[in-house]
Structure 1
């Protein structure tokens, strides 16, 4: 298995590193990182859990709506220029967080972090892999790029806490902006210096009379929107974005109600990232061999077990079990939620299709901080909320298993 990854990396080292880097840097806009600053932000602006959750949700929801349109531009703009625009946008977002002095400016800063970080950088990382690698290597390429997500989850919490202790929360964001704008555009152009040749080869392959080209030419964003099965599947596939975002966003309240130490729970994110990384590596060859539709039937089962453990166990090992199981499921999720659409709808319009699905994910992640925050303010226990989330994850497993159980899978050799 690792030999197949190594051969792939030797063939495309810079491009795969580019995908990994974008996924890694997207951590600046991910909830697990922004939530580390929630206590200081709420104290600075005198916000309750629900009020901050509402502001965060509005900003995230707005970013999701724009993502559906901005994300599809990756189908039409040179990837090098597109990625640099995202890097500059992320730097401006960090700068906005540093200089926010009211709820409006704070909301704008969060909006930009969520749009350029969680939304567009994550989208560009995996979409570019799905477009430029063939079906025999697509799963491994997406998995390699997606390794940037767990690596970010392992590094960024410790980095964020350290920066807050050293500089304070405002200057932590200011330093981040300086580093991003100074280094990231240069790294992008260096890693994509041979991209013109890669894109030309892709266009030539598309012009061939291959079966994949025929299939892709029939799949447009409009056709996807007219497929009722797409909406049904998204009610399950978007679930983890809601569930995991809500839990990490309200982790300060979670550990307080459980009687745990916040630093210990936060350090458990490294365990989450480790298992996400492991299953992310495993998922690539599995998808290439068995297909994303087959794996989609089972990958959310660990989410169910993770939420049950967190909701039913008040001892510290309940949090440990959550990190292990949710991390394992997340490793498959990053791959499945990209390669599934290429199997069903092709690669020609994958930028627009995945931007649309990513926007739905962002909307789901936008709703959870506010909804859970309002429930917490209303006195609903965190355990009750987590068990309700486990119920939705169970629904997702049943639905996806039912939708794809009659699919015929072609066994592919591992490259």
Structure 2
């Protein structure tokens, strides 16, 4: 399917999304208990620090992320690797609440933010004809990490101190990733992009939007409403899964097995959506992205059986697979690729911000004695509004041609 330089760029994206997992919520959450014990803080204190640090990282990412348009891939990714390695090392030295805030901020910025931003921006910019399949393959890196790292870390924590694990991660980052970028993307430039005899004729004439122009386009905000539904609702669900489990009386083993369904359906959707995007375009698929997520809130609201846990997380997994690819390819299709780094920096920052928002909102609602069914209703109402607004402009999502 992919040849030569194309394969190298995809492998680069795959590895970078895998390593982005060190800054993702699912990975950092594995050390929640160890950190709270070390600092003697509560769940609520940890959640507040996590949300505020994530929020700050989203603001910084808007500025730092746009620099990918000013440097070649090798130089920019080198800076990201150094920052990630330093962040991992500092994480092993957490000794106070202030240090915890700084460490989470750096991990969210370098890991979840810049690593995934570098990978997806490079793929979206480089590929045209097979952008959907390339992005779906790239995101499998994170799916692989989600599948193997939790079990590995839980196993390692039984006989290795958590701080030593982070030191080992830091060393792995600074040894492995420089070899990866020198081997795979040293010679990659925008003018070495994948050639498409069919699409090149069209894309040459597409208006290349700057970030300032995008911010003046009303379509951007309506699309963002839909794009941000998955991050904040899924993050809230994952962070407060213990609240959902206790409210529904599902039991820990049921939710653990349900996460396997989530992972499998995410991967299957990644594969399928990549081909669908290349065939029909992201713009046409966007309207369907959050329908499974909407159905998941329906399941959570109306059903209490343990079996419904599988349907609930499985439906979230389907939307997650769609959102991962559409979140990168849609912007490239509508606004062009010349300034895609600057645009993606903004949208990635908004995504990171929404995860902080989800954590804070779910916690606030739980503290206000909202039931899990009421929280599902709030989430479902947001999704329904976002889908409805997107439906109204679905015929206005085509790019502008010069």
Task: Return the TM-score normalized by structure 1.
Answer: 0.88
Which residue of structure 2 aligns with residue 215 of structure 1? 206
For 1:374 and 1:96, locate their aligned partners in 2 and report how far apart those are by CA, in whole Å: 30
What is the match of residue 156 of structure 2? Answer: 163
Q: Higher mean Cα deviation, 43-52 or 149-158?
A: 43-52
Give the SS at the match of 1:347. coil
Aligned CA distance change for structure 1 residues 140 and 280 (closer, same or farther; 3 Å): same
Relative to structure 2, which stretch is displaced further, 93-102 or 375-384?
375-384
Deviations 1:310-359 (A, max 9, x none): 34333332221122111111111111111111111101000001111111
Cα distance in 1 between the residues matched to 2:76 and 2:124: 16
Query: Is 1:33 equivalent to 2:27 in the alignment?
Result: yes
Out of 208, 212, 234, the residue aligned to residue 224 of structure 2 is 234
Find the counterpart in structure 1 of residue 7 from structure 2: 13
Aligned counterpart, 2:287: 297
Is the contact between residue 81 and residue 178 of structure 2 (CA under 8 Å) also seen in structure 1? yes
1:178 CA displacement: 2.0
CA distance in 2, matches of 1:262, 1:103: 30
Report if the CA contact (8 A) 1:307-1:387 is conserved.
yes
* Residue in structure 2 matching 1:344, options 329, 334, 348: 334
Tell me what 1:320 maps to: 310
Distance 1:107 1:85, change over 3 A: same
CA gap of 1:406–1:369, structure 2 versus 1, over 3 A, is closer
**C-alpha distance 42-377 of structure 1, shift in aligned 2 (>3 A):** farther
Question: Which residue pairs with 1:4 in the alignment?
Answer: none
Alpha carbons 2:126, 2:194 under 8 Å: kept: no
Shift of 1:221: 1.0
Task: State which of 162, 166, 173 in structure 2 corresponds to 1:180.
Answer: 173
Give distance in 2, aligned partners of 1:235 and 1:154: 29
Gaps of 5+ in 1: 1-6, 410-415
Q: Which moved more, 1:300-309 or 1:60-69?
A: 300-309
Q: In the aligned structure 2, how far is the partner of 1:316 from the partner of 1:192? A: 47
Describe the SS at the equivalent of 1:147.
Answer: helix
Give 1:264 deviation, angstroms.
Answer: 5.1
Mapped to 2, the partners of 1:188 and 1:369 lie a distance apart of 34
Partner of 1:47: 41
SS in 2 for 1:297: helix
Task: Determine whether 1:271 maps to 2:261.
Answer: yes
Asked if residue 65 in structure 1 is aligned to residue 59 in structure 2, the reply is yes
5 Å matches for 1:72-83? 72-83=66-77
What's the secondary structure of 2:75's corresponding residue?
A: helix
Q: Which moved more, 1:383-392 or 1:97-106?
A: 383-392
Q: What's the C-alpha RMSD, in Å, of the aligned pairs?
A: 2.4
CA distance in 1, matches of 2:335, 2:190: 20
SS at match of 1:380: coil
1:254 aligns with 2:244: yes
The CA deviation string for residues 204-251 of structure 1, in whole angstroms up to 9 with x for no partner, is 99xxx954233244x111110111221222122111111111111222
Q: Is the 8 A contact 2:127 2:194 kept in 1?
A: no
For residues 172 and 223 of structure 1, what CA distance do their matches in structure 2 show?
Answer: 45
> What is the Cα deviation at residue 185 of structure 1?
1.7
Structure 2 CA distance for aligned equivalents of residues 117 and 279 of structure 1: 24
Determine which of 12, 23, 26 is the counterpart of 2:17: 23
Q: Is the 8 A contact 1:342 1:350 kept in 2?
A: yes
